[in-house]
Structure 1
Amino acid sequence: MTNTLENTLKVAQLAFEYFTNGLETGNWQDFLDMLTDDFTFWFPMGKFHGLNTGKERAKEFFEYVSEAFKAGIKLTSVDSITSNEKTVIFEFRDEGKLFGELYKNRVAVAFDVRGDKICSYREYFGSDGKSY
């Protein structure tokens, strides 16, 4: 199925809403439900550094994120949204407590869309403070 720009934005914006809800509440199920079975994600460091494949690996990753940010993490602004017919990139700022320490960061996440699902996710961060 070929994506249109309108469909890609709609799907990615819904996924981003579920993603930020997961960051705030630790409930990732809505986001996980939007992932394709062959979902891949790239993370820049730590236990999940590099390319990761599959929904189960994604579930492990997002559970780890919830452990790291037990009190949740709040989105403070969306600075930019850039898209084409396949990919939408959200640049945002967030803050909270990372393993109990104050945390503030600027992040970019890219969602690749296939039909009404997210097939790939990439995250980049680190300009405003501690990063995980």
Structure 2
Amino acid sequence: MTEHLDPLNVAYQAFGHFEHGLATGEWQAFINMLSDDFTFWFPVGPYHGLNVGKERAIAFLQYVSESFSEGLTLTLDRVTSNETTVVFEFRDEGLLLGQPYKNRVAVSFDVRGDRLCAYREYFGSDGKSN
């Protein structure tokens, strides 16, 4: 008998690990929550578009940590969910490659059991307005 896992609770746990990774560069707890067939979509840069596989995700998270070497702080604004997908809207700020950075971001986590099977990120604010 399998215990029913609430996708919202799983997603909140993953988001906590995601936030910790952005702040510290320590991603292992987040990586541990990814399914083996994990996919992610990112809007810009060398990871633009659809990316497939846990190894690709690990490389992406390393890239993020190198880009934000001093970490990012997040302020969660809104959470929206259905039976399988949870969207977190937040503001983040820090240094991007040594330059001041502020943005508004939405990340979408697809949950299967106790794992994330997909991630999509959307952003676009230049940080000049809140």
TM-score (structure 2 length as normaliser): 0.93
Task: Show the counterpart of 2:65.
Answer: 66
Q: Which runs of 5+ in 2 are unaligned?
A: none
2:124 counterpart letter in structure 1? G
1:48 counterpart letter in structure 2? Y
TM-aligned CA deviation for residue 129 of structure 1? 2.4
Moved more, 6-15 or 115-124: 6-15
TM-aligned CA deviation for residue 108 of structure 1? 0.2
Rounded to whole Å, the distance in 2 between the matches of 1:64 and 1:7 is 31
Q: Secondary structure at the match of 1:36?
A: strand
Rounded to whole Å, the distance in 1 between the matches of 2:56 and 2:7 is 24
Task: Show the counterpart of 2:18.
Answer: 19
| Alignment deviations for residues 14-66 of structure 1 (CA, whole Å, 9 cap, x no partner) | 00000000000000000000000000000001100000000000000000000
* Paired residue total: 125
Task: Show the counterpart of 2:56.
Answer: 57
Q: Secondary structure at the match of 1:61?
A: helix
Task: Show the counterpart of 1:120.
Answer: 118
TM-score (structure 1 length as normaliser): 0.92
Rounded to whole Å, the distance in 1 between the matches of 2:76 and 2:71 is 17
Q: CA RMSD in A?
A: 1.3
Identical positions, percent: 65
* 2:50 corresponds to 1:39: no
TM-aligned CA deviation for residue 106 of structure 1? 0.3
TM-aligned CA deviation for residue 85 of structure 1? 0.4
